[in-house]
Every structure is written in structure tokens, then in C-alpha cells.
């Protein structure tokens, strides 16, 4: 289908006498026309980046979308913006199918003061853009049509049943089945799968753990709560090019302000010596978008552009408040080549989605490679860990003490760092740690006791 897109882009370039560029609605490059001009301004930084990296920056994307291109039904003219690296104006031909935008064709506009493209030529170019829209919609629909095969892979038991399901999905995908993919879990999901997800080879909805029959073989999901999870199989160009995939995933989540950090703490104990250590918190990749070109109806940019939540704050101490099982999050597994390792990648995605609920700083889109100890804790099962030693500390009446203990352990037992993170005096910290020891019967000078308590506190927020 790549050749079809290139032929249609070349047809638009010939109609309008300017090199055209085709991008999907997430501003990922699909095809571009040849550039044979001696005018250096025709290859401004935005167009160059789009062609060389197959995407543009989020700032450039926000600039172009500010002109209403996602809602436009006809050509949109966008002026030059040298400060943003856009040295030439653009004409944007929105690519739509049944009223839904599928992508954009971009062309370089004429210099100010010179006549724009002939209206008849623009009309003909829009007809070609509509043909492109049909192809893009059919491609997205093909991914949705694989939902049954994809779901079978995720719900089949281990062994020959899973092997047969993987073989069926590979056959349905054809040569693309041997490419690079990433598994994504979005949960809780409210209903049916979306008609299309940009960059997806297949999408389906599966029961979450606790939402099935309760019998062995229930589909893995995103946590202990019942309901549904959305599974997405994303196509990747390379293992290092996850940013566009994360952009597509972030757009599946509701846009909401980041939750305020839960205030928890309390408790006390006596002085002790602790070994120094370094800690680091993972951060999620942020969406990148971007685009290209130019249009026919002048417009003023809006003051706001599309946003993607910026996932986490490195180094922020964890809170010990109960996780909200109704907060929608997404997890992304490590990229896999071929489909043999897809079930394992799905389990990674499920674990990452659960970790994003437990630790808001990891989400709302969490990558398996960045969830730290939750890579192990999420594999312990759907039910929260219920250790008798930690049980009294996890009671609602002792949330302050639980937070104090967790921050202290996150800081590798360094009292000064923990006290600073909690905003309390060191002697107050020692008093609280003493109370923790009384409640749990654990010795916070003993490595195994500290490990047990740390795991129990982290796992208590997994849902």
C-alpha cells in the first residue's frame, strides 16, 4: 500500500506544481514528493526534519493544529513563521473519510504577494486527498478486523493453544507479522474497541483479571479489579522509535489534571546508622508529533494546542495512599520482533499499566522497562500482597506511618534524606520509625525485614 500512497502524493504534486508531503493524523510521515528546486527556503527545518526523522516536534504540531486543520473540510492556508523554523507558508489538504480526519497532505505555498494555486487544481487535489483517506481508513479497518486473532493470542492458555493462536495472527498479518511490534494495555476500558488507533496492527478488548469467570485461563488484564482492558498491537519502525507509539497511546486516555500527591505519613523511632545510596525514578516518554505544510483558507491559530500528559516527576517520594482502580492508565511492553514473544510482551504491558496506577509518577503511560521493582511485584498475581507483619501498618489509621516507612526505605535508609523528603525533623523521623517497628514486629536494621516491608508497601497499591 506504500506505493499507492506515493503515487497519489506524486499526483497531487503534479496538479499543484509543488512537492507534497503526506502524514497521518499523528503527523508521522507516510510519503513525500521529490524536491528539485534550487530554493533553499523550500526545504525549511520543519520539512527537513519531517522527511529525515519521519516526524516533527510537538511544538510544531501544536502550531499547525492551532489553525483548525483537524476540523477543516477544505484546504487551509498557514502563513510562514520564521521564529519556529517555518520559512515558507503551507497549504494543508485535510485527508478525511466519512467526516473523520485520517491525515494531512502538505504543500509549500507561494511567496507572499504571488497568486496561490488555481482553484480548479486545488479542487482536483482535494479529490485525490479523498482517495488517500479511503486507503488510510481501509488500512486502519484491517487492523480492527484482526481483533479476533489478536484476542485469541492474549486469552489462549499456555502451550499448543497459544502457539496456534500466534500462528493464526501471524498468517493474518502477512509479511508484517515478522516486523517489530509493541503490546499496549489500557485499563480500565469503558466498552468496545475504537474503530482505529494510529499505528496499530490490531486492537481488541479483553477481560481484566477478576472480570472473567474466575476459572483458570481467564484472560490476563490490568489488575485485580473486574471490567475490561483495551489491547493494542502497535507497529514500530525501530526499537528506539517509541515516541510516536507513546503519542498514540496517550491519546486513548482521558485528558485530566494530574492528581495531587496524596498526603500520608506519621509514626516514629530511634536513631540508627544507614548506608548511603542513590535512587532514581523513571520518567515516561512524551508525545512527539508534527507536521508539514500549507493551505488555502486563512485562519488564526488557536491559543491552545493538543496536549499529552507528561508522565512523572523523577525523585518524588512515593505516597502510601490506596490506588484508585478506576483511574485509566496504559502500559507498554518491550518491543518484540515477530509474534512468538507477544504473550510475554502483553504481560509486561499489563504489569506496566498496574504500576502506573500504583505510582502516579510512572504514568499515565508507563513503559515496562521503567517501572523498577514493579516488574517483579506485578508478577506476584492480581491480588494485593497481604503479609501479616505489614497488615497493621496498612490500616487506614496508620497511613502517615506507612508513608514515612516507604519514603525512608526509598531513600535507602538515609535518615537525613528521608526527613528532608518528608519535611520533618530527624528526631520525628526516628520516633515514627520506632512506631513502625512496634506495629510490624520488624527490625528496620535487618536487611531482610526492610526488604519485606518495602515490598509489602509497594505491592499494597497494585490493583
Q: What is the pLDDT of residue 389?
A: 86
Pick from 61-65, 211-215, 283-287, 313-317 the range whose average pLDDT is largest: 61-65
More confident residue, 325 or 70: 70
What pTM was estimated for this model as a whole?
A: 0.54
C-alpha 452/C-alpha 462 separation (Å) is 16
Residue with cell 469503558: 190
Instruction: Say what the pLDDT of residue 385 is.
Output: 60
**Res. 332 pLDDT band, cuts 50 70 90:** very high
In this predicted structure, what is the pLDDT of residue 384?
Answer: 56
Rounded-to-integer distance, Cα 108 and Cα 290, Å:
16
pLDDT of residue 197: 79
End-to-end Cα separation, the chain, in angstroms? 42
What pLDDT does 237 receive?
76
Q: CA angle, 82 as apex, 78 and 88 as ends, to 5°?
A: 45
Residue 401 pLDDT class (50, 70, 90 cuts):
very high
Lowest-confidence pick of 157-171, 237-251, 387-401, 418-432: 237-251
230 CB-near residues (< 8 Å, 6+ apart): 184, 185, 186, 187, 189, 193, 194, 203, 204, 205, 252
pLDDT for res 232: 92
**Least confident stretch, 10-14, 246-250, 331-335, 395-399:** 246-250
Match 483495551 to its residue by C-alpha cell. 230
Q: What is the mean pLDDT of residues 242-257?
A: 75
- For residue 85, name the pLDDT band (cuts at 50, 70, 90): low
Whole-number Å distance between alpha carbons of 232 and 253: 13
Name which residue leads in pLDDT, 25 or 14. 14
93-102, 121-130, 195-204, 344-353 — which is least confidently predicted? 195-204
Residue 336 bridge partners (DSSP): 181
159 has a pLDDT exceeding 50? yes
Q: What whole-number distance in Å separates Cα of residue 316 and Cα of residue 301?
A: 36
Amino acid at each position: 500500500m506504500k506505493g499507492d500512497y506515493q503515487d497519489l502524493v506524486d499526483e497531487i504534486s503534479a496538479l499543484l506544481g509543488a512537492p507534497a508531503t503526506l502524514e497521518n493524523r499523528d503527523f508521522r510521515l507516510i510519503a513525500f514528493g521529490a524536491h528539485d528546486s534550487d530554493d533553499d527556503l523550500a526545504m525549511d527545518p520543519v520539512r527537513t526534519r519531517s522527511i529525515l526523522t519521519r516526524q516533527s516536534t510537538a511544538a510544531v504540531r501544536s502550531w499547525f493544529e492551532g489553525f483548525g486543520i483537524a476540523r477543516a473540510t477544505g484546504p487551509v492556508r498557514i502563513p510562514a513563521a520564521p521564529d519556529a523554523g517555518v520559512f515558507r507558508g503551507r497549504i494543508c489538504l485535510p485527508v478525511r473519510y466519512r467526516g473523520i480526519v485520517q491525515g494531512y497532505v502538505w504543500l509549500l505555498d507561494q511567496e507572499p504577494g504571488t497568486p496561490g494555486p488555481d482553484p480548479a487544481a486545488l479542487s482536483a487535489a482535494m479529490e485525490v486527498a479523498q482517495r488517500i483517506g479511503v486507503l488510510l481508513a481501509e488500512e486502519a479497518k484491517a487492523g480492527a478486523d484482526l481483533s479476533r486473532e489478536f484476542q485469541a493470542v492474549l486469552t489462549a492458555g499456555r502451550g499448543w493453544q497459544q502457539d496456534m493462536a500466534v500462528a493464526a495472527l501471524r498468517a493474518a498479518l502477512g509479511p508484517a507479522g515478522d516486523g517489530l511490534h509493541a503490546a499496549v494495555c489500557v485499563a480500565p476500558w469503558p466498552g468496545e474497541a475504537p474503530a482505529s488507533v494510529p499505528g496499530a496492527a490490531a486492537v481488541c478488548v479483553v477481560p481484566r483479571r477478576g472480570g472473567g469467570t474466575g476459572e483458570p485461563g481467564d484472560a490476563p488484564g490490568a489488575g485485580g479489579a473486574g471490567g475490561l482492558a483495551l489491547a493494542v498491537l502497535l507497529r514500530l519502525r525501530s526499537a528506539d522509535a517509541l515516541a510516536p507509539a507513546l503519542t498514540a497511546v496517550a491519546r486513548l486516555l482521558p485528558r485530566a489534571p494530574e492528581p495531587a500527591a496524596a498526603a500520608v505519613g506519621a509514626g516514629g523511632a530511634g536513631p540508627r546508622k544507614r548506608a548511603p545510596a542513590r535512587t532514581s525514578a523513571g520518567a515516561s516518554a512524551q508525545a512527539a508529533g508534527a507536521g508539514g505544510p500549507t493551505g488555502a483558507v486563512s485562519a488564526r491559530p488557536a491559543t491552545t494546542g493538543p496536549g499529552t500528559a507528561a508522565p512523572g516527576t523523577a525523585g518524588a517520594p512515593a505516597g502510601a495512599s490506596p490506588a484508585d482502580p478506576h483511574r485509566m492508565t496504559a502500559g507498554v511492553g518491550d518491543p518484540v520482533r515477530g509474534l512468538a514473544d507477544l504473550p510475554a510482551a502483553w504481560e509486561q504491558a499489563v504489569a506496566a499499566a498496574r504500576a502506573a496506577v500504583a505510582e502516579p509518577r510512572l504514568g499515565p503511560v508507563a513503559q515496562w522497562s521503567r517501572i523498577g521493582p514493579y516488574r517483579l511485584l506485578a508478577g506476584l498475581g492480581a491480588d494485593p500482597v497481604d503479609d501479616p507483619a505489614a497488615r497493621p501498618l496498612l490500616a487506614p489509621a496508620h497511613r502517615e506511618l506507612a508513608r514515612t516507612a516507604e519514603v525512608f526505605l526509598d531513600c535507602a535508609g538515609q535518615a537525613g534524606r528521608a526527613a528532608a523528603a518528608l519535611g520533618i525533623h530527624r528526631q520525628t523521623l526516628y520516633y515514627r520509625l520506632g512506631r513502625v517497628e512496634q506495629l510490624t514486629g520488624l527490625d528496620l536494621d535487618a536487611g531482610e525485614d526492610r526488604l519485606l516491608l518495602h515490598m509489602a508497601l509497594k505491592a499494597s497499591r497494585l490493583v
